[in-house]
Amino acid sequence: MKKPEKELTVEQKIKRRNFISFTVFGALAAGAVGGWKWLYNSAEEPAGITAGTRRPLRRALNKTELFFRRLVFNENHLVKTYPREMAAKVIRHNSDIGSEGKLPPENWKLQVRKNSGEILQITLDEIMKLPKTEITYDFKCVEGWDQISHWAGVKFSDFIKHYGLDLEAKSQYVGLETPDKQYYVGIDMPSAMHPQTLLAYQMNDVLLNGNHGQPLRLIIPVKYGIKNLKRIGSITFSNTRPRDYWAEQGYDYYSGL
Amino acid sequence: MLIYWANDEYSITIFGHTFVRFFPDWFYNALHIPSRLAEGMAFHFLFMWFFTLNGIFYVLYTIISGQWRQLVPQKKSFKEAWLVLLHDLHIRKTAPPQDKYNAAQRIAYTAIIVMGFGSVITGLAIYKPVQFYYLTWLCGGYHLARIWHFALTMGYVLFFLVHIIQVILAGWNNFRSVISGFEVVEEQPKPAIERSSEDEKA
C-alpha cells in the first residue's frame, strides 16, 4: 500500500471480524440445511434388484458395504457359538411370508438348477443322509432383537460338494426362493460357502414345524435374519444379484454381519 | 430415532414391571416415523460417516492447536464442577474462577468426545459383529453393545438439551464468541480516554 491507511479502530476490527465469522457461519448453516433438504427430497432409486430407498442413500449403503468388505472382511471369521444348553426353548417367530402353514416333507422336493439347465430334485431324506452339522449361535434380527438358538442341518458347502455343484459355486451369488416364490433372497457366494451356513431341518433337535420354515430352511449366521429364508423351494446360481425380498423394500442388499 | 422403530427392544423394567418402553406409541406418532426402519437404517449408515469424520477432525484440531489444554479436565475440575453446578442452579452465589471453560464444561466437553468414541466402537460392534468380533467382545457382547449404543444416544440428547439451554442463558455475547472466536468485554471508561479492549481468546 502506498498511501498509509488509517489504522482501524478497535470497534471497526470487532465489526469486521464479526461480519466475516457470521457470514461463514451463515453460509455453512445454509449449506447444511440445503444439503439435508436435497437428500431428503432426492428421488427414489429406480426399482430393480434393490428398491425403495433414496438414490444417494442406496449409493451410500453399497459403498459402505464395499468399504468394510475391502478393509476388514475375512470370510473365515466364525460367528460366536454358545453351549447347547444356552439355546432358547421357545424360538421367536417373526414372519412367515412364503412359508405359511404346514408343508410335510413328503410333499416337498428341493429344486436345484445347475448351469447345464438340469434341475436336481432332492428329498429331505436324501439331505438328512448327508453329514449333519449343529450350531448354537445368536440369531440377529435387523429389527433389533437377538436370540441364542440351536439348529441342525447340512453345511451348504457340504451340500455343494456332495451334489457336484463346484462349478456352480464359482458363481458370485446364490438365489433361494420359497416354493410359492413369495419370499426370496440373494446371497453372495462367500457368505453361502461360509463354514457355518446350513440348510437346516432341525431346531432344538426337532424337525422344523410350520412356523419356522418346514421342512428345510437357510441358517446363515453371517447375515441378519431377513436373509435366513424359511422353506427353501429352489436354489439357483448366478453372477448377477438375484432378487431379494427386503432389498426391494429399502434394506441393504448384503445385510452382512 | 427411526432405527429404533421396529421392535421396542429397550425398556426400563424393575422386578417385572415395565416403567418406560422405548419408545411409546405417542412418540412415533408425534414424529411421524412408524414403519420406517429401512429408511432409518439408510440414513444411519450415511450419517455415521459425518459423525466419525467430524469427531476425528475435531480431535485432531484440538491437538494441533493446543486447545486440548483448555478442554481436558484438571485435577481440581472434578471438585469445582459441583460448585459450578450449584452456581448455575442459583444455589450458590459465586462460581470458582475459570479460564476459557469452567470445570463443568471441561468435564462435559471431554466426556462427549469419550462418548463419541464409545458410539463408534459400539456401533462397529453391532454393525459387523462377525468381522469386528473383538470389538463386540470388548463391549460385553452383541446385546450389551446395543444397549451401550442406545444409552449413549440418550446421553447426546441430554447433553444437547443442557447445552442449548446454557447457550440461551449465557446470552448473545457468549454466542457471538462461539461463532467468531472472541468475546467483547466493555471495560469501565477510565478518566480522559475511553476505549474498549478486545479480549481475544484464539
What pLDDT is attached to residue B176?
A: 76
Residue numbers in A near B130 (CB within 8 A): 77-79, 221-222, 256-257
What pLDDT is attached to residue A113?
A: 92
Of residues A188 and B173, which shows the higher confidence score?
A188
Chain B CA closest to residue A140: B142
* Distance, CA of A254 to CA of A74 (rounded, Å): 15
Q: Which residue in A137, A45, A145, A34 sits closest to A87, CA to CA?
A: A137
For chain B, the C-alpha Rg in angstroms (whole number) is 22
What pLDDT is attached to residue A209?
A: 83
Q: Which among A7, A140, A194 is the top mutation candidate for probing chain B, defined by the most B β-carbons within 10 Å of its own β-carbon?
A: A140
CB–CB contact A77 B131 (8 Å):
yes
The beta-carbon neighbor of A14 closest among B38, B45, B184 is B184
* Distance, CA of A165 to CA of A157 (rounded, Å): 9
What pLDDT is attached to residue A135?
A: 95
What pLDDT is attached to residue A176?
A: 95
Contact present, A192 and A205 (Cβ < 8 Å): no
Q: Domain-by-domain residue ranges, chain A? A: 1-41, 55-249
* Distance, CA of A184 to CA of A188 (rounded, Å): 14
CB–CB contact B133 A17 (8 Å):
no
What pLDDT is attached to residue B174?
A: 75
Residue numbers in B near A7 (CB within 8 A): none
Residue type, B111: A
Provide the residue-wise pLDDT of chain A in tens; the chain has 257 residues: 556 667 778 788 888 888 888 888 889 999 999 999 998 888 888 888 888 888 999 998 989 988 888 887 777 789 999 999 998 888 888 778 888 888 888 889 999 999 888 999 999 999 999 999 999 999 998 888 888 999 999 999 999 999 999 999 999 999 999 998 999 999 999 999 999 999 999 999 899 887 888 899 999 999 999 999 999 999 999 999 999 999 988 888 888 88
Q: Which residue in A191, A146, A107 sits closest to B144, CA to CA?
A: A146
* Distance, CA of B21 to CA of B9 (rounded, Å): 8
* Distance, CA of A125 to CA of A155 (rounded, Å): 15
Of residues B16 and B158, which shows the higher confidence score?
B158
**ipTM reported for the complex, 2 dp:** 0.81
Q: Which CATH class is domain A55-249?
A: alpha beta
Q: Which residue in A236, A238, A194 sits closest to A219, CA to CA?
A: A194
**Which phi and psi (to 5°) does residue A206 adopt?**
-115, 145
The model carries a pTM of: 0.78
Residue numbers in A near B129 (CB within 8 A): 80, 140, 257
What pLDDT is attached to residue A227?
A: 94
* Distance, CA of A130 to CA of A182 (rounded, Å): 28
CB–CB contact A74 B131 (8 Å):
yes
Q: What is the DSSP string of A133-180?
A: EEEEEEEE-TTS-EEEEEEEEEEHHHHHHHTT-TTGGGSSEEEEE-TT
Q: Which among A21, A44, A66, A81 is the top mutation candidate for probing chain B, defined by the most B β-carbons within 10 Å of its own β-carbon?
A: A21
Q: What is residue B111's three-state secondary structure?
A: helix
CB–CB contact A257 B196 (8 Å):
no
Q: Which of A13-17, B19-23, B56-60 has the lowest mean pLDDT?
A: B19-23
What's the gap in Å between the CA of A150 and the closest CA on chain B?
18
CB–CB contact B142 A250 (8 Å):
no
Residue B200 has pLDDT above 60, yes or no: no
Does residue A254 belong to the interface with chain B, where contact is any CB pair within 8 Å? no
CB–CB contact B42 A57 (8 Å):
yes
* Distance, CA of A86 to CA of B172 (rounded, Å): 59
Chain B CA closest to residue A11: B196
Q: Which of A39-43, A117-121, B15-19, B113-117 has the lowest mean pLDDT?
A: B15-19
Residue type, B60: L
pLDDT band of B12, cuts 50, 70, 90: low
Cell reading at A62: 453399497
What pLDDT is attached to residue A103?
A: 84
Does residue B60 belong to the interface with chain A, where contact is any CB pair within 8 Å? no
Instruction: Report which DSSP code applies to A53.
Output: S
pLDDT band of B25, cuts 50, 70, 90: low
Cell 451410500 found at = A60
Report A:186-245 residues touching B (Cβ under 8 A).
221-222
Of residues B175 and B142, which shows the higher confidence score?
B142
What pLDDT is attached to residue B1?
A: 44
Q: Which residue in A42, A73, A37, A76 sits closest to A59, CA to CA?
A: A42
Is the link from the previous residue into A195 a cis peptide, with omega within 30 of 0?
Answer: no
What pLDDT is attached to residue B189?
A: 62
Any long-range contacts for A214-219 (C-beta under 8 Å, 24+ apart)?
A: A214/A99, A214/A102, A214/A103, A214/A104, A214/A105, A215/A103, A215/A104, A215/A105, A215/A108, A215/A124, A216/A108, A216/A110, A216/A124, A216/A127, A216/A153, A217/A99, A218/A156, A218/A176, A218/A185, A218/A187, A219/A135, A219/A151, A219/A153
Average pLDDT, chain B: 77
CB–CB contact B38 A246 (8 Å):
yes
What pLDDT is attached to residue B91?
A: 75
At B78, which helix (H) or strand (E)?
helix B77-88
Contact present, A124 and A108 (Cβ < 8 Å): yes
The beta-carbon neighbor of B198 closest among A10, A77, A78 is A10
Give buried/exposed letters for B133-153 (b at 16+ CB in 10 A, else e): bebbeebebbbebbebbbebb
Residue B9 has pLDDT above 60, yes or no: no
pLDDT band of B197, cuts 50, 70, 90: very low
